[in-house]
Amino acid sequence: MSENLKINETHRQRCAYVYIRQSSPTQVQHNRESTDRQYQLRDRALQLGWSATQIRVVDEDLAHSGSGLVSRQGFGKMTQEVALGRVGIILCLEASRLARNNAEWYRLLELCGVTDTLLADLDGLYHPGLFNDRLLLGLKGTMAEAELHVLRMRLNGAIRNKARRGELRRGLPVGLLWGEGEGEVVFHPDQAVTGAVRTVFEKFAELGSARQVWLWFQSGGVSFPHRRPNGQILWVKPTYIAIHAVLSNPAYAGAYAYGKCRWERYVDETGRVRNRVRHLPQDQWAVLIREHHPGFIDWATFEMNQARLAKNAPPPARQANEAVREGSALLQGLATCGRCGRHLRVYYQGRNSTPGYYCEQNQAVAGRALWCMRLGGVRVDRAVVETFLEVISPAGLEAALAAQELGEAQDQAALRQFRLQVERTRYEAQRAERRYRAVEPENRLVARTLETQWEKKLNDQRAAEAELARKEQEQKLQLTPDQRRQIRALGSDLKRVWEAPSTTDRDRKELLRTLLEEVRIDVLPEEAKAHLLLRWKTGAISELDVVWRVPRPAPIRTDEATIELLRRLARHHPDRVIAGVLNRQSRTTARGQPFTANRVSSLRTHWKIPCYEPPSQPPEGELLTVAAAASQLGLAPSTLLRWLNDGFIGGEQVTPGAPWRIRMTDQLKRLIVPEAPAGYVAMPQAMRLLGVSRQTIMQRVKRGELDVVHVSRGRQKGLRIRVLDDQPQLFDQPSAAHV
């Protein structure tokens, strides 16, 4: 059938759509001939009888793939117009321009057949409603999809073959460059760049955490190189992601890796097929060539770093965190249950945040869920520490000498980076000066621009030199002779170093992990002790017992809970009322008899508890219920109850189970303020200034080490912490004469 016979007046009364598409931005930028050929399809529409006002050019999908994995707005709008019967003909260069997947291709053919819409390419004009044309169009769509598969297989095969030899040139991280030879990788010629990368690995070996390395860069103001796509190096403040990427990249360990991730298809919530990247474990990488090029670290160090990063990551559900965190529980991550072998979890209780350990493997006993094991951590930690110090005491002098050497060289990496930065800014200023002096004096427009750039480089140089001078002036690592003598003396008494105020709980945990692999704890209730099995990293085993409950003969005496209740009741009630309260709670004397006023009086006399005396003057503040106190303070009752449990405020309770009562004093009223006073900051800022977690700050507030107020107005309500600047140090700061 002739092409003109397929076109009738109903087709020409509707619009003609010219669909233009290329798969990538590179094709749009460089393959201009293909783009021009597609735009020339307007002329063919004019030849087929459509007027210029009826022709619509759809070029919104330039640089978008037709594989169906990306959204094409132009194709979607054109499909909607076809479904509404507003399109008479669609012109394209070939079938692959419309779609490279049969799902979209056959959907378009079905709509065109229903709405009597024509399709045209360079080979001819087709009517999807006719069997022969539909068959031919189906073959064209299948060939377009097959062509994409064949091209991809050819390209991927060549890429993988070259990658197996380690010669495929892909993007290298900052600090490494491709050399002239096949697969040759060399260090960056800029020593400042390589020095910054080496500093990351050195500080990680010292601090043991990617976050601590990042905080070290931030606190010291040390810049880190960032390479642009054009190869230019920019010095910026490093992010945590940048530090973590350096530590986890195998290229820095001298290895060539390819295929570390895999593209996977999935159906999203809207029903569209999309791609996502799946990072693979190391044993599933397509190519891994060790010792391919010189690296900043060796492969063994790289694997140890990955294991350390994995331990620092948040643990899965119902597993203990093995990373070193803040907190006084020294065996966190090391203690395991002697019954089921699980890692013990840590808890803190009381106003002093006393640590303890428990195994969350609960067992159903008599219809109740009981913990597999739970015990306090103070005595256990003390016993392990004593054993640890006893083991390392012979190496005390060597440790002191090593600490002295580390103290003198600890921050040399930062100073080295600042010196390289000064050298780099000096070079850039000299280069800007040469460019300024090379310009002709008559060319004032260029001369003024170069002069401005020269002045900016000089300002950068002066700022870098000033920063270097300040860092050298503030360097605190040059120990005085007195401090050297102190360190040598402490080498023979490591217990003083362990208990020093400047030795943090995090430092103590790091020291324990250097030698201890596991501490297995088995509680023996019948013997009132805990049996500890210490497994050292050398393979040695140590065993010790910790008495966690001192056995005593059971005397004939009133139980402690009754005596404690008597102490509280004696402040508010006479003996007759106290006897009635004790009897209502089914409490008895040591002989099992009910309480009377005389027996309560005898018990008070024995324990030297004063009797009740009505106060001559009423105590300060009115005694209110929690609801009434919350109403006066403008807070929710749940907030006051939470403060009572946390120990922020005090309350009175006559007996366990009785309602809490709060005395409305001026001190309590001053705790609620409309605006934060000077020196009080929000919790996130306090965490950043003190360098500790929220849990540690709350523990210090409970112990009274930090002042706190509650802001009751404004958008940012809540607690405000007063941050103190003075922090305890092991040594006094060196005097100005020694700096």
User: What total number of domains does the chain contain?
Assistant: 6
**Paired strand residues for 364:** 369
Residue 394: other Cβ atoms inside 10 A: 8
Assigned token pair, 422: 């000064």
Name the domain boundary from 266, 297, 312: 312
pLDDT score for 458: 82
Distance from C-alpha of 249 to C-alpha of 258, rounded to nearest angstrom: 12
State whether 570 and 502 are in the same domain.
no
> Considering the chain, what is the average pLDDT of its residues?
79
Assigned token pair, 336: 């395991």
pLDDT score for 647: 64
Residue 732 lies in a domain: no
Dihedral angle computed from the Cα positions of residues 419, 424, 426 and 432, in that order, rounded to the nearest 10 degrees: -170
Q: Which residues, including other chains, have CB under 8 Å from residue 539's CB and lie 6 or more apart? A: none
State whether 51 and 101 are in the same domain.
yes
Distance from C-alpha of 143 to C-alpha of 602, rounded to nearest angstrom: 104
Write out the residue range of the structural domain in which residue 271 sits.
176-312
pLDDT score for 732: 44
Three-state DSSP class for residue 18: strand
pLDDT score for 255: 92
701-715: b (≥16 Cβ within 10 Å) or e: bbeeebebbbbeeee
State whether 219 and 274 are in the same domain.
yes
State whether 588 and 715 are in the same domain.
no
DSSP 680-699: EE-HHHHHHHHTS-HHHHHH
Of the residues 2, 23, 353, 542, which is catalytic? 23
Residue 660 lies in a domain: no
pLDDT score for 482: 62
State whether 436 and 578 are in the same domain.
no
Distance from C-alpha of 345 to C-alpha of 317, rounded to nearest angstrom: 12
**CB-based contact 223:193 (threshold 8 Å):** no
Assigned token pair, 165: 């030899």
Name the domain boundary from 101, 133, 161: 161
pLDDT score for 730: 38
pLDDT score for 256: 92
User: Any idea what the Cα angle at residue 686 is, between residues 693 and 688, rounded to 5°?
Assistant: 65
pLDDT score for 734: 44
Assigned token pair, 572: 């508010």
Residue 29 lies in a domain: yes
- State residue 355 phi and psi, 5-degree precision: -80, 160
Name the domain boundary from 476, 504, 525: 476
Residue 542 known to be catalytic: no
State whether 394 and 510 are in the same domain.
yes
pLDDT score for 265: 78
pLDDT beneath 70: ranges in the chain = 1-4, 68-69, 314-325, 361-371, 393-415, 417, 442, 444-445, 471-493, 548-555, 615-621, 646-648, 653-659, 724-739
State whether 147 and 180 are in the same domain.
no
**Paired strand residues for 719:** 710
Residue 736 lies in a domain: no
- State residue 623 phi and psi, 5-degree precision: -90, 115
In three state form, how does the secondary structure of 318-380 look? Answer: CCCCCCCCCCCCCCCCCEEECCCCCECEEEEECCCCEEEEEECCCEEECCEEECCEEEECHHH
CATH number at residue 102: 3.40.50.1390
453-485: b (≥16 Cβ within 10 Å) or e: bbeebbebbeebeeebeebeeeeeeebeeebee
pLDDT tens, position by position, 344-399: 888 888 878 888 888 876 554 444 555 677 888 888 888 888 888 877 765 544 55
Distance from C-alpha of 21 to C-alpha of 92, rounded to nearest angstrom: 9
Q: How many Cα atoms are found within 13 Å in the side-chain-facing hemisphere of 514?
A: 14
Distance from C-alpha of 24 to C-alpha of 31, rounded to nearest angstrom: 10
Residue 505 lies in a domain: yes
Q: Which residues, including other chains, have CB under 8 Å from residue 304's CB and lie 6 or more apart? A: none
Going by C-alpha positions, the residue among 86, 85, 134 that lies closest to residue 114 is 85
Distance from C-alpha of 519 to C-alpha of 531, rounded to nearest angstrom: 10
Q: Which residues, including other chains, have CB under 8 Å from residue 676's CB and lie 6 or more apart? A: 682, 709, 711, 720
pLDDT score for 249: 92
Q: Which residues, including other chains, have CB under 8 Å from residue 232's CB and lie 6 or more apart? A: none
State whether 471 and 510 are in the same domain.
no
**CB-based contact 697:683 (threshold 8 Å):** yes
Residue 92 lies in a domain: yes
State whether 510 and 361 are in the same domain.
yes
Residue 231 lies in a domain: yes
State whether 496 and 561 are in the same domain.
no
The radius of gyration computed from the CA coordinates of the chain, to the nearest angstrom, equals 39
**CB-based contact 261:279 (threshold 8 Å):** yes
State whether 111 and 132 are in the same domain.
yes
State whether 43 and 150 are in the same domain.
yes
**Residues in the chain, overall count:** 739
How does DSSP classify residue 719? E
CA distances 477 to 47, 213, 358, Å, are 85, 19, 41
Residue 406: other Cβ atoms inside 10 A: 11
Residue 642 lies in a domain: no
pLDDT tens, position by position, 141-196: 888 878 878 887 888 888 888 888 888 888 899 999 988 888 889 998 888 888 88
pLDDT tens, position by position, 654-667: 665 566 778 777 77
